[in-house]
Amino acid sequence: MGPDKAPGPDGITCRFLQMYWEDIGPGLVAQVQEVFRTESVPPKWLNCNVILIPKKEEPETPAEYRPISIGTVLYRLVMKMVANRLRPYLKPVISEEQTAFMKGRSITDNIVLVKEILHSFGNRNYRQESFMLKADITKAFDMLDWNFLTCAMRYLGIPDMIINLLLSSFQRARVTIKINDRGDDFITPNRGLRQGCPMSPYGFIIAMEILSRCLGLAHSRNDIRGTKLAYTSPVVTHIIYADDLVLTGDTQESELAEFQRILQLFGEASGLRVNPAKSKIWFSRSCGTESRDRVTTSLQASHALDGERYLGAILARKNSAKKMGMALLDRMKLRMTGWKMNMLSHAGRLVLINSVLVSLPVYFMSFELIPKGIIKQLNSLLAKFFWGKVGQDKYMAFISWKKVCRPIDKGGLGVKDIQCFGEALFQKLAWTLMSDDKRTWAQVCKAKHYPRIGFWRAKSNASSSPMWKQVDKLKHRFKEEVVWSLGEGQNVNAVAQPWFRGWEMVQQVSHNDMHKKVAHLFDLEHNQWRMEELQKLCSNQQIDDIITEVVKPSSLVPVKDRLIWKHTNSGVYTVKEGYSKLVEMNTIVGNVSGNLWARVWGWKSVIPKVRIFMWRLLSKALPVAQNMHTRINRFPPNCQRCHEENEYEVHCFFFCQGSRAVWFGSHLGFQTQHLSLNIQVAVMQICANLDEEQLRVFCYTMWELWKERNEVVFQKKTFQPRAVLERVKGWLRPFGDTPQIMTQGRQMRREERYEVDREGWHILVGGSWDTNHAAGTAHLIYKGGLLVAIGLQSHNLQDPFLVETMALKLAIKHFIEITEVQGAQNVQLFTDCANLVSAIEENEIQNLPSWRASREMVTITADLQELGGGARVFHMNRRGVQGAHNLANHARTVPISYKGVQDLNLWPHLQHSMVLDEHFFQQVQEAPP
């Protein structure tokens, strides 16, 4: 919870509890434990303030306010704990039609599905007379009946402890409505959920699950046909996101009556009633006037206009992306209205751009690609805000916005490139489709756009939906960036999916080839490829690529075939890495030293506005006279202080007589006459020999030189070197001791205790890796505390988790070799990789931190099973496995492959690890790993 967020009636915040935890922590823990023991929340914890947030600019009625409840910290703490305990129970019982507040589901799913439905409604080939109703639920959070919610939770199998705590917080709560910062007496509500309570979202989706199941039951009895957009498409009857309900079905009178009956019964039972005045209906193209009138009369809703919104998205038959872009443009202009640019430094403007303006389009770009013309206008607004002045339409941008959006290590400011970020967000949809996700919208798109030929070979046409057209334009980027990680090969299409380099050139000989799997091309019995099958489909070059590149399928490897995105260790596409890849592709960097920008942004002791100033200087984006003359010919290029030379950057700050006087009076001790004429080289020459404190002096001196120069140019003052040096001293004076405020509570270390047989087998495992993919693995095998064997090996591996997994696999293999005993063995292995231990304990093979480690994990699991139940893997901190880690470091830096016990004196890394000492056993038994 946020340290200072919204204190309740008692005025206590989370920060207060964090700062004085040593004094009040034990008592608070005891009270919370008592709450869970008695399943009752103390009445004083339940008092809350209700703050009315206007829904529009000039609200006139109570319905135009949104009540937000601000409870006590202790109440929110208990409800947060209850919500965390409730969450695991919801995943299996909440239907796929609900996407709100559930991990792995997204609001984008609903929007894309609704857009696909509307696209089919407007298609001439869609013959079903269908409707889609966007139903508005009146005061949803405020009207929910508590008895109905209790029955719904019991029906879904929620534990009684959670139900009792929730009922206790409902029935004994008291609220006061604060108006103009004043509240009346407390009142006791008898229905509704608190907006602002951690449990409220989950309570609401539990209530809506009953409606979802009623609609699903009606469909299973054929009382509701729903909408089917293609022959193999799943039937859609309803879509729910919190209180946003969408119903879709046939226009037959019996189906409409069933919809009306279910909504009426649900409203009477739960208190959640549909408001017909705010509900809207869309119809398919084949619907006649009579059918449309029947639906509107039965459901009492009005016909939706073009441009209606759903979950913030504009639903339009044509040009929805352009309309969305224009709305974003207006929204950004409105947000910038009132910001006083003249009062903000470039650093302040940069903060507003990153935190406010660039984040505005993010939500909309997750389901719509904004046209490039609109993006150009958005970038123009951002550039004007960064470079311009209030009241001036024209501005002088010394650097193009494209360069400003470069990463900071490439000479930019790291501002999000809207076009690249929008494409990275939209590529998430493409990834969902190509990975054959089972979500409803993905299955609908598959049935509509590529029911037979597969994602990769499908093409868009004039009748395709806008979403599929945009995905089709972007998917070519994935062809070189994805690959199938083969397990058994049963799920990978040999003709239509990227399972080796050059897969697109595979020839389809017959219709049956379209469904041929990779497993059909491999002979598991003889562990070799079926050459006659490969020769039917592939050329000789392709066959060579398959034999050399593709890992052979195996029935002994119980790993599912999995689509992998190469640029993440997990193998799953992420927007962050997708954006980084797009920026890398679109960034062309000239002769700019990466070390220079690393130094600039590494000056943490320099305040941001001065660092931005140094960035402008080194990017040649300061309005010195020479730069102004280059852009405006009539502007004189000569220096206004010395009138001797043209004013370029190095002259302005180092060669001009006034600047030389300042540097002469400074204690930095460098001479300006030997500096390069290139400002970047000159600054690097100076900074190469300065420590951190001297860098601060240098940067602030440059800043004050620029301010003094501007006073000479614009206010006609006399240049004063002494005044510059005095102001620099002011920057360097300490501002006094700032009290340190603890922003986070102490993290409680989880203690794990396990017994160690001092006379048994112990194996310490270590791995070492660097960003150049050089890796080393090592292990030390002990018996009764005495070193028996060691092993170390050099590798070239792509990520650190793969290195740790490889190290453990080799350690187990070596142990099996030296013991030469069949059957169970009691051995304890120790590694400092907590993720690896967790994966082994949970028997997780598929969703590992590194997709490359799947086969190693299978081997480890099989070997541990061979050793029997006495073989265990434990986590230990780095100090406990330091000997193995030192050897791994050696193997990473010096190519080696060694297993044995002779000549141990050759390994100075083991001088403190020959015998497991008491420190090791004490660390295992008495301290948490």
Q: Tell me the per-residue pLDDT of 68-104, one tens digit each, with 9 for 90 and over.
A: 888 888 888 899 999 999 998 998 999 999 999 888 8
pTM: 0.84
- H-type alpha helices, 411-485: 418-434, 440-449, 466-474
| Beta-carbon contacts of residue 649 (< 8 Å; ≥ 6 apart) | 617, 620, 622, 624, 679
Confidence band (pLDDT; 50, 70, 90) for 912? low
What average pLDDT does this structure show over 755-780?
Answer: 86
pLDDT exceeds 80 at position 901: no
873 token code pair: 């893997």
Please give the pLDDT value at position 511.
60
Query: What are 523-532's pLDDT values in tens digits?
Result: 777 777 888 8
pLDDT exceeds 60 at position 442: yes
pLDDT exceeds 90 at position 269: yes
Query: What are 825-869's pLDDT values in tens digits?
Result: 678 899 999 999 988 888 777 678 888 888 788 888 888 888 877
Confidence band (pLDDT; 50, 70, 90) for 910? low
pLDDT exceeds 60 at position 906: no
CATH classification code of 761-926:
3.30.420.10
Which helix (H) or strand (E) segment is 310 a member of? strand 308-310
Please give the pLDDT value at position 761.
87
In order, the DSSP letters of 194-208 are -TT-TTHHHHHHHHH
CB contact burial 213-247 (16+ within 10 A = b; e otherwise)? bbbbebbeeebbbbbbbbeebbebbbbbbbbbbbb
What average pLDDT does this structure show over 343-360?
Answer: 91
pLDDT exceeds 90 at position 208: yes
pLDDT exceeds 80 at position 512: no
Please give the pLDDT value at position 494.
78
The CA–CA distances, whole Å, from 618 to 37, 346, 405, 609, 669 equal 64, 15, 16, 14, 22
Beta strands in 163-287 (DSSP E): 174-179, 182-183, 238-241, 244-250, 280-283
Please give the pLDDT value at position 529.
83
Please give the pLDDT value at position 593.
56
What average pLDDT does this structure show over 662-668?
Answer: 88
Q: 604 or 4, which is more confident?
A: 604
Q: pLDDT exceeding 70 applies to what percent of the chain?
A: 89
Q: 1 or 517, which is more confident?
A: 517
821 token code pair: 């005993």
Name the phi and psi angles at 134, rounded to 5: -95, 105
Query: What are 597-651's pLDDT values in tens digits?
Result: 887 888 888 899 999 999 999 999 999 999 999 989 888 999 988 888 899 999 9
Q: 200 near 73, Cβ under 8 Å?
A: no
Query: What are 469-504's pLDDT values in tens digits?
Result: 999 988 888 877 888 777 777 778 777 777 777 666
Confidence band (pLDDT; 50, 70, 90) for 928? very low
pLDDT exceeds 90 at position 810: yes
Query: What are 564-600's pLDDT values in tens digits?
Result: 888 888 888 999 999 999 998 877 655 545 577 887 8
Query: What are 33-47's pLDDT values in tens digits?
Result: 999 999 888 888 888
403 token code pair: 């360069």
Query: What are 310-342's pLDDT values in tens digits?
Result: 998 999 888 888 998 999 999 998 888 878 777
For the chain, the structural domain boundaries read 14-303, 320-416, 417-474+578-589, 482-565, 594-646+658-732, 761-926
